[in-house]
Structure formats: structure tokens, C-alpha cells
Structure 1
Amino acid sequence: MIRRGNHRLFAVLGAAVLAAGAITAAVAPANAATAKSNVKDVCGAAKPGFDRCFAQARIDVHEPAHIGRVAGAAGKAAAAAAPAGFGPADLHAAYNLPSAGGANQTVAIVDAGDDPAAEADLAVYRSTYGLPACTTANGCFSKVNQSGAASSPPADQGWGVEISLDLDMVSAACPQCKILLVEADSANTNDLGASVDTAVRLGATEVTNSYGGTESSVTPGDAAHYTHPGVAIVASSGDSGYGIPNEPAVFSSVVAVGGTSLTKAADARGWTETAWNSDGGAASSGCSAWIDKPTWQTDANCPGRMVADVSADADPQTGPAVYVTDTLGQPLQPGWNIVGGTSASSPFVAGVIALAGNPGKYADASSFYAPAARGGLNDVVGGNNVTGLDCGGDYQCNAVAGYDGPTGMGSPNGLSAF
């Protein structure tokens, strides 16, 4: 691992800023949403040695739960009764996904602290949209602490909204997948990394991580927790726009997932996507100063690992419906909310990988860069993720034809690239 002082990104900041660790304040606000009116970061700025979740919640849209929203045993619900926000059918249509697959896959979700309502909330989401039940009783759902025991962590860490988002997005992408929720004792980077190791030990085929912290000199030492050949390790790029990349997304063994704004359109696809940059934040991208460039990345202006690799809907303004009752510390009411951030795109992409059933392909993200994968990805063109620092017209912060930082190689178009 070598440090580089000549990044396009750091030409403005100077190498000394990075060495001092004064990265977040120098590049862009950690909470890009604080000045916005209708979106709030679920997790606040993290203290040193800790990570923050990347979920962003709409605070102007809420619907309480009631019987009319629940599909019932027959799995039927009127379209007019659906909660606000995209549901599984919307996302499957947007990304051309099959309805079946992944029954032999286990997607692990790693989060901090306990959500005592996780399984009950998941049941409401799945029944509302007519998805098969996923419970402890039928063997589909399991929840453990970072050591792998059935007991919960000592306290709620305020990540309940994040946990519900993760569970719902995996369910939306892959309704037949098993789900393993691993709750770390805290958001400390060591606890979260240990939880990834536990997920793999317990048989996860995919692990999604919707959290991160700005890379630094200690980043290379954390890589081992996110290096598990044979298991697809997926992570959110972040929600602060163009700047210093976040770990764990920056590791070369991780599929780094960026974010798009997804809207319905009257065209052949029926949907349009641009790089996510709206009220609330923007998909993170950046060029690593600490992780060497993998051989399968060939973009011209970044000598290190470039984030992201692929993308999916992350814009809370065009986000999915999420059912959550554990709203500790949030200006949200229990029930249906719209939640986004790359915390939505990472578990969704992990679910798409599981739907395809080829986790062994993902010792790294190289398969997405192969020419054969291009037909299976929507090339996202348009928009940028500039929230402070600007890369000019460069691909590092602008969604252009081919590879770019905010959206990577593109979003899923069926399973041929997966």
C-alpha cells in the first residue's frame, strides 16, 4: 500500500492535510443533509475510530401502519393502498430482474446495535408487498450478535432505521433469499469488522455493509475483515459527494456501490437514472491515497483504487418505502417512511448478486469491468455528485458514458452481469 500525494483530488488539498487526518472538514461536510429541509441523515458524524451509517430519511413523508396496507395470507394488496415510495415490483421493473432465484443464498446484513423490532417490521414489509414470509420460525431469518450468539448487543445504537432499510432492500431484490442480521456491539470499526467475519463464518454468501468512515493511514489494516474470497462483500460508497473515499467501500476486495436518482419515464426502459445529487446529499466517489489501484480498474486520472464500481437507486427524493418502528433518536414516526442514501443501494445490489447466485465471482469487483458485463448494466449518464470540492468535467465526479465515480460501471440490467 502506498500513499500518493499527486491525486487529482488532493492537488487542491495538499498531501499534508491527508497525513494530519483533517480530511472530512477539509473536503466536504460529513453531514451533507444538515442544511436541507426534507431529508435527515439517520446517523450523525462519527467520532474517530467509529463508522456512521449512510441512510437518509425523508422527514416530510410518513404513513402509519394500518390493516389496509397489509396484503394478508393471499398476498393481495390494491395498488392504490401501497405506501409512498418504490416497492419491490418497481425496483424489479426498473432493473429488469426476475421474480425467482437466490433460494440457496444467505445475505448477511451488518449493522450496529440492536433493533428489537427487526423481525416484526420485516414481516409487515414483506406481507404488504406479497413477498414470502421470512421468519426465525421458517428458517429464513436469523439475528445474532457480533460473536454469533442469539443474544442481542447491549443497547440500541440508533441504527433502527438503517436496519429496516437493509432488511427491506435485500427482500425487495431477492425475496427467496435467507437473511442473516449481525448486530455489532457498537459502530466501532473493529466491532463492525468482526461482525463481517462472523457473518462469513456462519455461512453468508453475500455481506452488505451500509456504513463507512473516511479512509486514513489505518485503512489498509482494516482490509482483512472485508477480504473473504468466495463471499461477495458489498459496501455503500457514502452520501457526501465527491471527496476522500470511505472504507470499507475503498477496499479492492469489496464491491463499492454508488447511487443514482431513479425516475419513471416514457421511454423504452420506462425509467431514467442520473447520478444522485439532490436535497439531502450525493453519492460519494473518490480516488484512494492508501489502497493501490487494482489491475482491473483502468480509469485514467486516479492512480489508486477508485470508488464506486456499480450503483442503484439511492436518492431519498426517489427512494423506496421502508417500514420501521424503531425510530430512536430520529425525527420520524413509526410506520412507513421513505429512506435512501447508498445505504439503500448496497443491500439492494447484494440482493441482486444473491438473486444471480454466483457469489464466488466476487473476490473483487473485476467482473463488472469485463466487456462481457456491459450489456447487463445500465450505463448511467448525466448529473454529478459535487457538493463542495469539484473535479471539473472529469469522470471522478460526473456521470459520463462508460466508467465514472458516482455510478461506477452502471446499475443492474437483468442478471447477465451478475
Structure 2
Amino acid sequence: MNTQSGEVERIDVAVIGAGPAGAVAAALLARAGRSVLVLERQHFPRFSIGESLLPQSMAYLDEAGMLQAVVEAGFQYKNGAFFAYREKTSSFDFRDKHTDGWGTTYQVERAVFDQLLIRRAAEQGAQVRFGHTVRSMETGAAPVLEVADEGGRTYRVAAQFVLDASGFGRVLPRLLGLETPSHMPERAALFSHVRDALPAGSTDRDKICVAVHPERRDVWYWMIPLAGGRTSIGCVAAAEFLDVPEAQREARLRELMGEEPTIARLLGDAPFLMPVNRIAGYSANVERLHGPGFALLGNAGEFLDPVFSSGVTIALRSAHLAAHTLLRQLAGERVDWAADYDGPLRKGIDTFRAFVERWYTGELQDIVFYPNQTPKIRRMISAILAGYAWDETNPYVADPERRLTALHETCMMAPG
């Protein structure tokens, strides 16, 4: 690598960020014979939240040549989701769903998972540089990035196209002024990992547990069993509800864990294995997901909410769509990024958004905990919870808002 600022390095595709979206996009492009440079400002392994994958993501990992490595890594197997509210429970098995495809996946420690994916991308031909930060971008038919390494030396990269997979760093939205306010209310999460010591049979380790606070239905918890007796635990609520000084975060999360019966029973005083962290204001949006010479992937474009673990699935779907659209463009085909990438990606995001919004109004909670669920409709809901939010043969994807409203009304009118 030449870091003399007067010279320009040339590459087919520059990818900003080495997380799951960046790794999968880089692998798909490299496998197709394109020169790819991944620029990541951090060093791996590094901690990241979002440990519970959805089955839909497995197809994209397979396509990118990563599935065998993931399967052999020893992650916690996952086949569904378990919901709890006071004395009510509801369990969804993702193998029993409307949409064909993977019904199982894994719950992963992201530091290990993310490093595994980017290593596989490098093994398939992508060039990866850690500790390199994108400072600016000149947009156009041949965008040029200004990059700085950790020694402060700068260099320029000219690419035929740039994919921003920088996640919550949101590099291009910040540099190009693309950010727009999210319509999602500002929420926050307190979270950590614990040594769970769960007795055999006390809970289904093969499912994520989503529990609702017994007195506040807008407050919910995740409990994600991981391999090796660890569990990821978090509480999500309105930002001000979790606004405590850093020194009080552990006590606040411990107090909240004690207020929800399922979490209290299963985790009790389980010791924290790392400091309790807080993340807030994570919901984000942009005015567009593409522009001259660039496209935004995953959380760099839009992030909704962690409640249905949709983040990694949306990220991998975006990598799949963007890579295939870009490969056609690089081959000389005329493509329409709005029709071929932006629109199709947002269809699934809008499906998840409808579910997230109705979770917080309580409507979806009423549906999930309704005792007399119709098997056919359960399989449709299960498919979306499993990540199949782009399958328009599912009525709750084709028209999610109207269908969920009608289903809620039916549940409320029916006896029981």
C-alpha cells in the first residue's frame, strides 16, 4: 500500500466497514472476480451488540461461502422465539413457518462471528485494512475516498463504486448529509452478558426469550443464551427511563431484571461478565439508500429497533441486493438502483417496521399472547419473526399494516 497522498490507489469496489454487511458484500464481489478493498476503522475482534440471528440470514451466509465456517464455530443453536408477559407465554418454532427456507440459525458472540465473516471474505480475495478511517468522499461516477491510517498518514482510493457498511458509524450519511430524522421514538437499552448457570430444562436455550415488563408494556427484555454458559441480557425502554449515571447502570439493570418474573427466575443474581453498557438513539433513517457511485448497507442506512433481531438479517439482505446490482452495473448493464436495490430492500424493512410499531402500541403483544391462535396465521407470523420479511406470498408481508390491524381486531373481539 502506498500512503503518499499525491498518488491514487485504484480498486473496483471500496467497502467501508468490516461487519456482517461489509464482509458478505466483499465476499460476493470477490467471488465474482472483482477487486475489493474493505476499510475498517477498528481492530477485530471487537464487541458488538446483536447476538441473535434469524434463519433468513443463513441463505446469504451460504451464498457468500461462509456457512460452513459458521456452522463449525460452535455457536448456540437457535430454532425460535419465546415470549413472556406476567403469567402468559407464547413460543414460536421457526421451522414451522409459511415460507420455505432455513428454520434454524445461531445465537452468536458478535466479536467471534464478525471476525469469522471478514476472515472468510479475505480468504476469498477481498483486501482488508483494519485501523483505516474514511475521512471524506468525492462523489460521482468514479468516487474518490480520502483515508487515514492510525499513524495519521493519508491516501486516496479511487473506486468504481463505494458500499458503506459502517453500521452505527454511518460514515457516508454523515459525510454527505444524508441523515434524516427517524420516526421511531427515542429508546435506549441497558445490556450486559451474565454467567447464567441455567439448570438443564429450566428454559429452552434454543430460543431467544423476549419478556415484557409486568407493569409497563413499552419496557421489554431480551435473554439470549450463548454457547459456554453465557447469556446476553438487555432491557429496552424509552430513553429517559434508562437515563442513569454510568456508575448506577449495573444496579439499575439488576433492579429491572428482578421486576420481570421469567428473567428473575432464570437469571436471578447471575454475575455480570462485563460492564453494563447503554446505547440510545439507535433508530436512524436516511433520505436515500444510494447516490452517484455509492450505496448504503444495513445500519448505515436504516435501523429500526432490536426487538425482533432484524438488524443482521436486513444487513445481509442489503449486501446481497447491492452486490448483485453492482455486479450487473460493473459488467456494463444499465441498472436502476431505486428499483433494483432501494425499493426491494425497503419492502422488508417496512414489514419489520409495522411489526415493531405494533409491538410498542401493544397490538402485536395482544396477538402474540392470544391463546386461540390459528395455525395458518401463526405460520405466517412465524415466517416474519424468522426474517422472511420479503416473501410477498405472505399476506403479512404484502400488506402488513392492514393485516395486523385486522388480526388485532379479531383477537380482541374473540372470546378467550
TM-score (norm 1): 0.28
The structure having more radius of gyration, on CA atoms, is: 2
